[in-house]
Amino acid sequence: METSDMTDVVIVGAGPVGLTLACDLARRDLRVRIIDRATAYPVGTRARGIRARTQEVFEDIGVLGRLTEHAEPPLPTRFYDAQGHVVREAVMYDAPPVPGAPYPGSLMVGQQFTEAALREKLASLGIRVELGGELVELAQDRDQVTASVRFDGHRRDIRARYLVGCDGGGSTVRKQVGISFLGETWERQRMLFGNLRVDGLDASVAHMWANGLTLSPMPRSGTWFFTAPLPPDGDQGPSSVSVETFAHIFSQRVGMSGVRFHDAVYLSVYQVNIRMVDRYRDGRVFLAGDAAHVHTPAGGQGMNTGVQDAYNLGWKLAHVLRGAPESLLDTYEEERLPIAGHVLASTTARGRFWAGNDSARVSERIVGAFQGRDPFSDVSQLSITYRGSSLARDLDEAIGIRAGDRAPDAHCIESASDEHVRLFDLFHGTHFTLLAFGPRPAPRVGEGRRGDVHTYRILPPGLPYGGSENALIDSAGEAHGLYGVDGDGLVLIRPDGYIALAGGDWDDRSVSGYFECVTGDRAHAFERGPQGLGVPS
């Protein structure tokens, strides 16, 4: 048995969720190891819809540009009824722009490209995925976690301050720590999906038939992505599926002549499960992504929800590893567990809403969901909020935006250079950002924390700024409008882009007092104060 040196965090699972977390931790100069039981990097489209909020995360981490290079063109989808007649053709992912969000509603990228871009970023930070590492046992005490991992038949003990399981719905980490995975399995709902090559089908559109069979061209990878419901009494398992299996299903359910399938790149059977954990944490072990929640694919929320888990957890782990109170890590479950519950409920309701024999009505509902007209939730995930969290503190109700809300983007002009700048450009990185609207002096941040907080003054045109090099002119009033500020306003933004503190009236202790809770060493710093706000105990 070999035992490694102590590391800060070990991540089990190198899919998009584990890689996002690894990148976020590595850019903070933490010692990170990421292992995966696979012996080779997976191929295939799999999760392909990168929603607007996830694009914000990927831009901050520094991979969005690479992903855009691999994005599929926004082709229309052609919907067919049970008789094979076209009932609708529409670009599903052509959502109207959202104020304060500079990204398309969805970026369609095969998961193999998403993972490759994240691995490339991680390698630039000095860390590589350790393939062929199968977790076989976990142990922890008050100071560390020990993961026993089998590499090439040899067991090695990896010691870390914390461990995060990003190892999917069948999570070994979750089972090792005994966290319940509550919910149900829809035994009669199984899907065959994957990538293959297709001849004889119009490649200028995606195709969706009333029976749930879909074929979408993926020109960037030279394949088509398909889904096909399997018969409830079928015996196809992961080892028995083939191109012939799909060809037979297509012939039976579509019957379109002259279409040929060949050269499968990836084939899999997907069993619908609707399950989630009852807790995100066991001591020094955390869960994220499918290890914590699985649901129907309606709306494409799975990978995106997992990436948000990782982004929420990363900065908190970093702060605790540098001395913040351990209780900061409790806010990960506090903020993300309700989101998982909502995603399970909304995707289940959406999946049922999309079912039925009226192809025209069903297609309208599907298109509407991706164009901002979904009755269950916002599939872009831009409207997710942590209002009421222990980390959300409203000073008053003088401004429109609230603590816990996502901080929107806006365009301003740097007073010193007259150059245009986006607020997102200022948020990028591992720091907090303090925006002070109006001429009133910003409160003190506190000695020792100035490098962790970047402060900017936002002023309307014509207001003197006193030569401050961090003054931004809100020439079009965009920032004032999106943040709901008419006069003075103070907004503190967390490293994950959510608002920590907001209000129109403040004193010199407003921000430093908040940071005494977040990064100080005071016991019980996150006990709930009045109205559930994070206040010093």
pTM recorded for the entire structure:
0.91
Q: Which residues does 171 contact at the CB level (< 8 Å), separation at least 6?
A: 13, 165, 287, 290, 291
Q: Which residues does 422 contact at the CB level (< 8 Å), separation at least 6?
A: 102, 409, 410, 411, 412
| Whole-number Å distance between alpha carbons of 480 and 460 | 8
pLDDT score of 137: 96
Q: What is the pLDDT of residues 2-16, one digit of tens each?
A: 777 899 999 999 999
Beta bridge partners of 277: 181
Q: What is the average pLDDT value for the chain, to the nearest integer?
A: 88
Domains of the chain as residue ranges with CATH? 2-72+104-183+276-355 (3.50.50.60), 393-532 (3.40.30.20)
Q: Which of 183-187, 354-358, 393-397, 500-504 has the lowest mean pLDDT?
A: 354-358
Closest CA to 181 of 269, 295, 285: 295
Closest CA to 357 of 193, 207, 209: 209
Q: What is the pLDDT of residues 284-317, one digit of tens each?
A: 999 999 999 998 877 678 899 999 999 999 999 9
Q: What is the pLDDT of residues 337-370, one digit of tens each?
A: 999 998 888 888 877 777 777 788 878 888 777 7
* Measured CA distances, 469 to 415, 465, 472, 473 (Å): 7, 9, 9, 11
Average pLDDT over residues 81-99: 81
pLDDT score of 467: 60
Angle of the 302-321 helix axis to the 16-26 helix axis, nearest 10: 30
pLDDT score of 70: 93
Q: What is the pLDDT of residues 402-416, one digit of tens each?
A: 999 999 999 999 988
Q: What is the pLDDT of residues 131-158, one digit of tens each?
A: 999 999 999 999 999 999 999 999 999 9
